[in-house]
């Protein structure tokens, strides 16, 4: 997989130390020991049926609330709760659901780091658990485990973060009549250039560019793949961050470049995101 090696190389290019480069992913949030990062965003996204099939569609508004704490110099703990609104349309009919998604608890441990005058490099494994605490109609109703590696690089105002993650879906509590959900493999590469504003060193503007790829395996029932499940998607997302002291305002637009759904499934549309984070 030459392209995967290329992404890893980019992430480890000596790329000033700052908080997470990425906007759409939380793995890079790393507060110093004894400090907190609070992040919230508004995300608007959609799915539509392939052209020439049906008029089915889904509009979704998500508000993730993320709290991260630096427990040790190497250890970061975090929790994420999403408020979710969904509107499904089909044949002129509309169905709306809203509530809390499943609680997500995660930890990241820094195992390797190089600090020099010209660059910083780091690697940290991470693990997270989806706890089925969500509202009826929103919750997955099963437990899932997320594992991954986080790579970071900083140099001369440039930053690069790469997250490689694997999700073991439905490790417990899958309803007896439901198929086993497919696991997910995902990559997210975030690149940014910090541009100082003024002479105080407290204010900066950073263009951000994210490259993401995710493969979701088909669900399975009795060892057989179920129809109309599983997909692969490659997306790009230009964004912008404004930093003033410990406050960051961020936003991006993510759009699919290529996608492949198995069977009859709705296609991924654009995502629009705006958010804020603060370190205490």
For 101-151, how does the pLDDT look when each residue is reduced to its tens digit (9 = 90+)? Answer: 999 999 999 999 999 999 999 999 999 999 999 999 999 999 999 999 999
Judged against a pLDDT cut of 70, whether residue 14 lies above it is answered with no
pLDDT at 91: 81
**pTM greater than 0.85:** yes
pLDDT at 13: 41
Judged against a pLDDT cut of 60, whether residue 2 lies above it is answered with no
Least confident range from 122-126, 165-169, 219-223: namely: 219-223
Query: What average pLDDT score do residues 204-219 get?
Result: 98
Of the candidates 164, 114, 136, 120, the residue with the CA atom closest to the CA atom of residue 5: 164
Share of the chain above pLDDT 90, in %: 83
Query: What average pLDDT score do residues 96-101 get?
Result: 97
Of the candidates 187, 168, 181, the residue with the CA atom closest to the CA atom of residue 130: 168
Q: Burial of 157 by CB count in 10 Å (0-12 exposed, 13-18 middle, 19+ buried)?
A: middle
Query: Measured between alpha carbons, how far is 71 from 106 in angstroms, rounded to an integer?
Result: 13
Task: Name the band, by pLDDT with cuts 50, 70 and 90, for residue 53.
Answer: low
pLDDT at 7: 46
Contact 135, 100 (CB under 8 A): yes
Least confident range from 17-21, 184-188, 216-220: namely: 17-21
For 255-276, how does the pLDDT look when each residue is reduced to its tens digit (9 = 90+)? Answer: 999 999 999 899 999 999 999 9
How many CB atoms within 10 Å of residue 198? Answer: 9
Which region, left, alpha or beta, applies to residue 66 given φ > 0 means left and ψ of -120 to 50 means alpha?
beta
pLDDT at 90: 86
Judged against a pLDDT cut of 80, whether residue 21 lies above it is answered with yes
CATH 3.90.550.10 fits 2-279, yes or no: no
Least confident range from 12-21, 60-69, 76-85, 229-238: namely: 12-21
Query: Measured between alpha carbons, how far is 104 from 145 in angstroms, rounded to an integer?
Result: 10
DSSP structure string for 49-109: PPTTS---EEEEEEEEEEEEEE-SSSEEEEEEEEEEEEEEEETTEEEEEEEE--EEEEEEE
pLDDT at 256: 98
Q: Where are the domains of the chain?
A: 2-279
Q: Terminal CA-to-CA distance of the chain, rounded, Å?
A: 41
Query: What average pLDDT score do residues 73-102 get?
Result: 95
Find how far residue 33's CA is from the centre of its chain: 23
Per DSSP bridges, beta strands 231-244 and 184-193 are unpaired
pLDDT at 212: 98
Judged against a pLDDT cut of 50, whether residue 62 lies above it is answered with yes
């Amino acid at each position: 997989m030459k392209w995967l090696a290329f992404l890893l190389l980019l992430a480890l290019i000596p790329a000033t130390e700052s908080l997470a480069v990425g906007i759409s992913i939380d793995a890079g949030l790393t507060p110093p020991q004894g400090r907190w990062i609070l992040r919230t965003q508004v995300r608007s996204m959609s799915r539509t049926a392939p052209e020439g099939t049906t008029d089915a569609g889904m509009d979704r508004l998500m508000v993730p609330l993320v709290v991260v704490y630096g427990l040790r110099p190497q250890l970061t703990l975090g929790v994420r709760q999403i408020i979710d609104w969904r509107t499904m349309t089909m044949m002129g009919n509309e169905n709306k659901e809203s509530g809390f998604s499943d609680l997500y608890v995660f930890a990241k441990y820094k195992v390797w780091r190089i600090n020099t005058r010209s660059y910083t490099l780091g690697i940290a494994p991470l693990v997270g658990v989806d706890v089925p605490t969500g509202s009826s109609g929103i919750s997955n109703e099963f437990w899932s485990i997320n594992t991954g590696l986080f790579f970071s690089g900083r140099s001369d105002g440039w930053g690069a973060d790469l997250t490689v993650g694997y999700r073991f879906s439905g490790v417990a509590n899958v309803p007896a009549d439901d198929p086993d959900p497919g696991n997910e493999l995902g990559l997210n590469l975030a690149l940014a250039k910090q541009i100082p504003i003024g002479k105080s060193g407290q204010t900066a503007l950073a263009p951000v560019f994210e490259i993401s790829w995710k493969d979701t395996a088909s669900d399975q029932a009795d060892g057989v793949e179920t129809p109309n499940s599983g997909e692969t998607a490659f997306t790009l997302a230009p964004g912008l961050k404004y930093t003033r002291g410990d406050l960051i305002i961020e936003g991006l637009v993510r759009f699919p470049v290529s996608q492949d759904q198995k069977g009859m499934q709705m296609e991924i549309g654009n995502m629009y995101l705006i958010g804020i984070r603060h370190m205490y």
